[in-house]
Structure formats: C-alpha cells, structure tokens
Amino acid sequence: MAPNCAVTTTEKSSTNNFTLLQVHDSDSPMFPEKQKATSRKQFTWFLLLKLHRVMTCLSWLTNGLKATFALVKKRVSVADMNDEGPNGRGRLYRFIKVFLALSIGGLVVEIIAHFNQWNLHMIQPWEVQGLLHWLYVAWLSFREDYVAPLVLFVSKFCIVLFLIQSLDRLVLCLGCFWIKYKKLKPTIDADACDVEDPSNFPMVLVQIPMCNEREVYSQSIGAAAQLDWPKDRILIQVLDDSDDGNLQLLIKEEVASWKEKGINIVYRHRLIRTGYKAGNLKSAMSCDYIKDYEFVAIFDADFQPNPDFLKLTIPHFKGKPDLGLVQARWSFVNKDENLLTRLQNINLCFHFEVEQQVNGYFLNFFGFNGTAGVWRIKALEESGGWLERTTVEDMDIAVRAHLNGWKFIFLNDVKVLCELPESYEAYKKQQHRWHSGPMQLFRLCLPAILTSKISVWKKANLIFLFFLLRKLILPFYSFTLFCIILPLTMFIPESELPLWVICYIPIIMSFLNILPSPKSVPFLVPYLLFENTMSVTKFNAMISGLFQLGSAYEWVVTKKTGRSSESDLLALAERESKSSNEEKILRRHSESGLELLGKLKQSEVPSKKKRNRLYRKELALALLLLTASARSLLSAHGVHFYFLLFQGLSFLVMGLDLIGEQVS
C-alpha cells in the first residue's frame, strides 16, 4: 500500500495573477467520490467483524445453556425426590406451594392487564369490559383498602427487626475493631506452668466422642495422642458410639497401637446408646477415676489439635477459680474445596472472630462450640453435667454454667484444624440441628434464667440478645422479609419495600461479615444470596424447635470426608511400628501403613450408591421469586427485578443440589 502522503506544486502566472494548486494524493478530501467508496468498504468490514463477535458470543451462550439444561435434566431424572422424608411435605412446603400458585395466577392477570393498559389509570365503572376486567378492578379496590395495609404493617414490623439485628451486628463489629485496635487478649500468669517441674501440671482428661466416624477416627486419635503434656498427667478417652462392628474393631486396634507406645488411652463403647453426644459424654464422666482429674478437653472426631494445645489453654485457669471454660477457634482444612465451603468459612470466621471474641472479652460468656474447648470439671459438675434434653448439649451446659456464675474465655489465636461439610445435604442437616436446638433450650431454660441470681443485665443479654435476637428473630425476618414479603410486594405495589432495605443495608452487613476473612471479598454477592437461601432451612428449624415439632429432636452426624488425611499413610505406618521408643518414621515401614489402609478399605460395608437430591422447598421458592421478578419487570423495577432474579436463581441452584459436593 502506498504511503499516505500528498505532493503539491504551485505555478504562478504573471498575466492573470492567480496560483494553480495541484494535489497528488488519491486519499485526499479533494476527491469525495473515491473517499466515499473507501469508507463504505471499511464500514462493511467493521460490520462483519462485529457480526462475527456477536455470533461467537451467541454460540458460547447457547453451548452454556445447553450444557446447563442437560445437567438440570440429568439431575431431575436421577435425583432422589424423597429429599426430606415426611417433613419435606410439611406445613411450610404446602404454604409455599399455595403462595406460588396464587403468584402465578396473579402474574397471568397482571400480564393481561399490562397489555390492555388496565393498570395505567383508574377505570370508571361504565368503562369495564368483560368479567375479567371487572374482577381486576374489584381486586385493585380490595387490594388498596385491605390487603396493602396488612402487608405494609407486616413489612414494617420485619424492617424494624431487621434494623435491630443490623444494629446488634454493627455493635459487635465495633467491639471487634476495638479489640484489634487496643490489641486486647486474655493474659496468663507468668508462673502458670513450670515446664521444669512436670509434677505441677494439672491432671487433664481428653475426650473424643465419635459415632461411625470411619473417615477421620485415626487422625483425631493420633492428634490427641501427640499432645505435649506429661504422660502421667493426661488420659485420653475414645468414646465410640459406632454401631458398625468392623469399625469398632478398627478403632480398638488404633487405641491399642497407641497404648503400646506408652500413651495413656482407653476405649469406651456404650451398650445402651441413648442421648446422642450428650449421653456419650455423660456416661464417660461417670467413671470412678474422673475424680482424679481437674480439667477435660473435648474434641470431635474430625478435630486435630496441635501438640501445644493444652499448654496454650490450661494456663489460663491458673489464679482464676471462677473460670469454667476456655474455648479455642476452629480452622478449616477444606475451606477452599468448593463454593459451599467458602461461604461456610465466611460465616464461621465472623462467628469466631467477632461474636465469640467480643462476647468472651466484654461479657465473659458465649455459647460453647461443643469441641476444641477445655472445661473445669468442677464447673461441669456444679452446673448439672451433660443433659440429654436437647440437640445442642454444648449450648445447654454453657447457659447453665453461666447461670451458676462461671466465666468463659475465648482464645482467637489458638486454632484447631477441622473439616467443613462439603455437601449441601450434610450442611442442611447440620444447620437444622443448630437452629432447632436453641429454641428447645430457650423453652427449657427461660424459668431458670428468670429465677437465677445473676444480674438483670446478664438476664436481659441471655433472653433478648443471645436467644431471641440471634436465634429466633434473625431466621424469622430473613425468611419472611426476603422470601415472602418482597415477592408479595411485587403484586401489591402500595407496600413496596424501599431500596435501602433490599440492597444497601444487606450489602453493608454482608461486607462486615466478610471482613474477618478478607480473601472472601469477591464472594460478597454470592454470600448475600446464600444467606437468604439458607433462611428457609433455618426458619423451618427454628419453628420446629420452638413448637416441639417432629424434626426438632432429629440428630444426624455430619458427614466427614477426611480431607486432612493426605499424610495418613505415613502416620499409619508410624503407628504400626513395633518399636515403641521410635520417635521418627522410617521410609521402610510405609508398607505396614498401606496394609492397614487396605484392611480398612476391605472392611467397608458396601453401601447403596448415593445420589444428589432435589429439595422441594427451595425449588418452590425459586419459582415464586422468579415469578415475582417477572412481575417486577412489567413495572420496570430496576433493583427489585435483579434482586428477585438472582435470588430466585440461587434458590434454583440449591434446590437442584448444584452447590457443594456432587455425589451422583
């Protein structure tokens, strides 16, 4: 292509006194016809390029939609429809179905009214045409006079609860910031433990309650056996409630192998397995030798404390006779396994970093987490010991100890490795137990709280903050406001929720929740949608616990996968070593570990192939929210439409069990 240049020559005539200008450039504006032809060609190529990009994008979207629909079709065809047994078809599910049917009917009528422009102006009686038109006009009048005021009242009530709970969360965050700014933390006496004189170390009991924990029993027992504490000052109780005879033999072998190495460890199995974990712990505390021990450390089967755990926690009891509990923080080995574990990590990081730390420092009270904690045995005994009356035995003993004047300490810098549920099914069952149990406990403990000798402020904190606000009001308004009221207001525009309720404040609160785990900031919007989606499970659990419904006492052991067992082969080989005084594993012993692992796999009872499930309540709510989003589109609601759309899609993902571990 020739360079884009111009050559000009001038000639001046002496007779006519004018200048002749010659332009030698084919692209010059002096040639409009040729310039016009070139521009048309370039514009054609530009359109073709844009068309190619659009077609590529459409092809990508088409392939993505085809793959998604194929996955959904496969999930629907092979999924287990009996997702929640009889409870899956309970009152809440029937209510949602009726609400969904009314919403779909309302959407059809609103579409007809929209295209006939019935909703653009008030219709005079003589302008009514047809029965459907008359019914719509009657509905507008009835809605404005009776339905809208009721919905508006309920929505304002939920908004007030929402603001109170948001204020409580903001105060907790400010307390956490103050602790960080002032670098406040629990302190211990300098002479709490004399490492030179092991005889001064207190007697410590370590309990590992487990039930059919095939995947994680060996690593939890191994971690407890390696705790750095004088061997004659510690006893490890493996409290096995398994009903699998082969698994019992494996756990006995594991205990025996550590016992041969000089570890003070015993195996206990109950013949009458009642009361779940509380009954297991209660049975273990009835042993005669318990009177020789001063403290008890409790670890669930998937928890692996560091060797220095006891040396970081026990010294806090020195010089504090009223201290009953020292709680450590959880750390998660599989927090990045999938989206579900990432969102759980956000929740639990806020729980420990903010809620437990602030309540522990300023109030000396918080709910015991059931594991990774050390109790003064005297505090347990004076508070009535372990009771089997609820599914949250840890919160039960914590409340009773608080009413008896015992204080708690939370150690945010002491972490114990554990595992998060990786499947939505396991997470739902865990959350159901965690949210139905507190309501059972509230019914049982309310008279004791009112008649206790603690201060009025502590009673108010227990009743209004600990139980009502954080255990009852939070799931109530989350489900009612964002899953019922919000889609309802799309069909009743007189009671429409303001933007700051559905957008601004929830985003601010979600951002505060994510602050303790800064790496999770990109998951801000998924976390907000996820919390609203889980509100149906939490609300259902709260109602069942409050009114003592059938599923209130349902206890299902959370499924473990043993994600932290990558080094188990080496650990197993070390435990199989016949020389008890050997401190480090040798490479040549790895075959014994492989043999034991092979034995374990061979002993596994073949189980029925598990499949991902369909969750009816989540699917019904997904259709309800998507119907409401379609109605909001008719009214040109911007933020409302997008919120309902994405919230409905998140319910759809949960209902199809497309989040977390994929079983099928």
Q: What are the catalytic residues?
A: 241, 394
Residue carrying the six token digits 């004659």 = 232
Backbone dihedral region for residue 79 (phi beyond 0: left; psi -120 to 50: alpha; all else: beta): beta
Give the Cβ contact number of residue 36 at 10 Å: 9
Nearest partner of 624 among 84, 92, 61, 72, judged by Cα: 92
Backbone dihedral region for residue 85 (phi beyond 0: left; psi -120 to 50: alpha; all else: beta): left
Q: How far apart are CA 393 and CA 555, in angstroms?
A: 12
* Token pair listed for 632: 């909001």
Question: E-assigned strands of 211-322?
Answer: 234-240, 265-269, 295-298
Note the helical H segments in 261-356.
276-284, 309-313, 339-350
| Sequence-distant contacts of 305-310: CB under 8 A, at least 24 apart | 305/223, 305/224, 305/227, 305/372, 305/416, 305/417, 306/415, 306/416, 306/417, 307/226, 307/227, 307/228, 308/228, 309/227, 309/414, 309/416, 310/204, 310/227, 310/228, 310/229, 310/234, 310/374
Q: How far apart are CA 590 and CA 21, in angstroms?
A: 95
Angle of helix 568-576 relative to helix 590-602, nearest 10 degrees?
100
Instruction: Give the distance between the most distant pair of CA atoms in the chain.
Output: 134
CA distances from 321 to 294, 324, 325, 327 (A): 12, 8, 11, 16
Sheet containing strand 323-332, strands side by side? 265-269, 234-240, 204-210, 295-298, 373-376, 323-332, 407-418
User: Which phi and psi angles does 534 have, rounded to 5°?
Assistant: -70, -10
Q: How far apart are CA 421 and CA 433, in angstroms?
A: 14
Q: How far apart are CA 616 and CA 549, in angstroms?
A: 19
Cβ contact 414:315 at 8 Å: no
Q: How far apart are CA 599 and CA 328, in angstroms?
A: 35
Residue carrying the six token digits 């505060």 = 512
Radius of gyration for the chain, computed over Cα atoms and rounded to the nearest angstrom: 33
